[in-house]
């Protein structure tokens, strides 16, 4: 379209939104809450353990979920019921 001015404009539709990261962590907590497990290991994410722990704790705090804790042991992240 406007070539030669140091930029180019390309007509293209906006892609749909991805799941926000807070929704991602909230989904993990919700799945745990639906389960009967006393403790679970969280795996299969591309997040660093420290990021995962901090973000899961933030969801618990924001949503006012009591009796559930997030702990890190070595490189593993666990969600447990008290």
CATH of the domain at 59: 3.30.1370
Q: Which domain holds residue 60?
A: 21-81
Tokens of 45: 């994410």
Q: How many residues does the chain have?
A: 82
- Distance of alpha carbon 44 from alpha carbon 67, whole angstroms: 24
If you average pLDDT over residues 24-39, what whole number do you get?
95
pLDDT at 72 over 80: yes
pLDDT at 18 over 90: no
pLDDT at 5 over 90: no
Domain count, the chain: 1
Q: What is the DSSP letter of 74?
A: T
- Distance of alpha carbon 21 from alpha carbon 34, whole angstroms: 20
- Distance of alpha carbon 51 from alpha carbon 43, whole angstroms: 13
- Residue 4: its pLDDT value, please? 60
pLDDT at 1 over 60: no
Q: Does 63 fall in a domain?
A: yes
- Mean pLDDT, the chain, whole residue set: 89
Q: For the whole prediction, is pTM greater than 0.85?
A: no
Q: Does 13 fall in a domain?
A: no
Vertex 34: Cα angle to 74 and 68 (nearest 5): 45
């Amino acid at each position: 379209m406007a070539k030669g001015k140091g930029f180019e404009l390309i007509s293209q539709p906006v892609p749909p939104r991805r799941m926000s990261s807070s929704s991602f962590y909230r989904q993990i907590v919700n799945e745990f809450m639906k389960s009967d497990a006393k403790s679970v290991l969280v795996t299969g994410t591309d997040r660093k353990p420290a990021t995962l722990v901090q973000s899961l704790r933030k969801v618990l705090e924001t949503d006012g979920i009591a009796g559930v804790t997030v702990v890190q042991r070595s490189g593993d992240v666990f969600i447990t019921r008290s």
